[in-house]
């Protein structure tokens, strides 16, 4: 295989690695989005407050009125001195007791009224939430449909990638997104012309790992994306392209959610209408482009 043919091969492999990684990203994001729908909300059921609080104002008023009435009653029955005072205290006690009873009754009446209103609000919220959950089942069905399509397309993409690796051109140790991107970059930049040998791409890659010039773990690459731009430009560019495509697909789905939520069909009719909406999504356009690209790669490499 000539250097130009090797470059073309590695370019194809890098692209398929990018596609497989992108589809895993899409699947994760759609699964996360789907999980937000159809989840019942939790409402705290109201309870009646049966505690008793003294109505100080009413007790004072009652006691004062009782004192006056008791004193007046004492005068009426002809009580004098200590007897009149006793009638006054008796009126104070009875008046305070009646004031407390009135205050408690008023407080419990207010609490009962408030409790009944809270119960009504609670029932309304529960009912509305059940209706929301029911409506959102359609959105869940929409995302389930997309996830099913994604699995089919991911299986196809993985099949193409494995067939490319199966050609035996690239040593198994370097059959991963990070390694093949770096190796392709070395050849594309003219740093080497072969894979093997002292000055080959494999040796350059191993040396740069030992010297900490590059990152060889994909999760670390993602975490330090801007930092690797100069030394690992190929994978940096691939991930940036993925991010743009992912954003476009998710934005398209957000716009479709409102239309999906209005669907009232069931069974096969619902599936048909979901498929119609899916046909206008950015994800579907991506699938169409991907199928053409994979077909071209299969023809180009005879796989």
Final residue of a domain: which of 100, 125, 150? 125
Find tokens 């940096």 and name the residue: 236
Final residue of a domain: which of 125, 157, 178? 125
> For the chain, what's the residue count?
303
Q: Confidence band (pLDDT; 50, 70, 90) for 73?
A: very low
Tell me if 47 is assigned to some domain: no
Q: Are residues 244 and 149 in the same domain?
A: yes
Q: Are residues 85 and 30 in the same domain?
A: no
**Whether the Cβ atoms of residue 91 and residue 67 lie closer than 8 Å to each other:** yes
Q: Are residues 87 and 220 in the same domain?
A: no
What's the whole-number average pLDDT of the chain? 84
User: Looking at the predicted structure, is the pLDDT value of residue 78 above 50?
Assistant: no
* pLDDT per position as a tens digit, 168-227: 999 999 999 999 999 999 999 999 999 999 999 999 999 999 999 999 999 999 999 999
The Cα–Cα gap between 83 and 71 comes to 10
Q: Are residues 138 and 95 in the same domain?
A: no
User: Looking at the predicted structure, is the pLDDT value of residue 31 above 60?
Assistant: yes
Structural domain boundaries, residue 285: 3-39+131-301
Domains: count for the chain: 2
Share of the chain above pLDDT 70, in %: 78
Tell me if 62 is assigned to some domain: yes
Beta strands in the chain (DSSP E): none
Q: Are residues 165 and 265 in the same domain?
A: yes
User: Looking at the predicted structure, is the pLDDT value of residue 110 above 80?
Assistant: no
Q: Are residues 147 and 82 in the same domain?
A: no
Q: Are residues 166 and 296 in the same domain?
A: yes
Q: Are residues 102 and 158 in the same domain?
A: no
The dihedral region occupied by 168, where left means phi > 0, alpha psi between -120 and 50, and beta the remainder, is: left
Closest Cα to residue 257, out of 131, 146, 129?
A: 146
Q: Are residues 135 and 97 in the same domain?
A: no
Q: Confidence band (pLDDT; 50, 70, 90) for 166?
A: very high
Q: Are residues 180 and 265 in the same domain?
A: yes
Q: Are residues 60 and 87 in the same domain?
A: yes
User: Looking at the predicted structure, is the pLDDT value of residue 87 above 70?
Assistant: no
The stretch 263-290 carries a mean pLDDT of: 78
**Whether the Cβ atoms of residue 273 and residue 263 lie closer than 8 Å to each other:** yes
Closest Cα to residue 283, out of 229, 258, 246?
A: 246
Tell me if 46 is assigned to some domain: no
Q: Confidence band (pLDDT; 50, 70, 90) for 271?
A: low
Q: Confidence band (pLDDT; 50, 70, 90) for 235?
A: very high
Q: Are residues 297 and 155 in the same domain?
A: yes
């Amino acid at each position: 295989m000539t250097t130009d043919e090797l470059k073309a091969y590695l370019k194809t492999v890098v692209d398929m690695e990018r596609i497989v990684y992108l589809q895993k990203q899409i699947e994760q994001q759609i699964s996360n989005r789907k999980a937000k729908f159809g989840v019942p909300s939790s409402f705290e059921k109201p309870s009646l407050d049966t505690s008793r609080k003294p109505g100080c104002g009413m007790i004072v008023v009652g006691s004062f009125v009782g004192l006056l009435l008791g004193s007046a009653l004492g005068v009426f029955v002809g009580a004098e001195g200590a007897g009149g005072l006793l009638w006054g205290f008796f009126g104070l006690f009875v008046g305070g007791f009646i004031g407390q009873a009135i205050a408690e009754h008023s407080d419990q009446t207010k609490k009962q009224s408030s409790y009944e209103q809270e119960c009504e609000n609670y029932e309304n919220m529960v009912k509305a939430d059940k209706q929301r959950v029911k409506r959102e089942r359609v959105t869940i069905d929409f995302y389930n449909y997309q996830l099913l399509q994604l699995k089919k397309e991911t299986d196809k993409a993985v099949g193409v990638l494995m067939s490319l690796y199966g050609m035996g051109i690239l040593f198994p140790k370097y059959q991963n997104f990070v390694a093949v991107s770096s190796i392709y970059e070395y050849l594309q930049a003219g740093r080497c012309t072969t894979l093997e040998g002292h000055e080959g791409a494999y040796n350059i890659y191993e040396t740069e790992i030992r010297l900490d010039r590059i990152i060889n773990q994909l999760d670390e690459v993602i975490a330090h994306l801007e930092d690797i731009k100069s030394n690992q430009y190929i994978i940096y560019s691939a991930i940036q392209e993925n991010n743009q495509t992912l954003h476009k697909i998710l934005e398209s789905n957000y716009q479709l959610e409102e239309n999906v939520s209005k669907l009232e069909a069931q069974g096969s009719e619902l599936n048909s209408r979901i498929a119609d909406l899916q046909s206008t999504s950015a994800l579907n356009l991506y699938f169409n482009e991907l199928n053409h690209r994979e077909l071209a790669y299969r023809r180009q490499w005879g796989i």
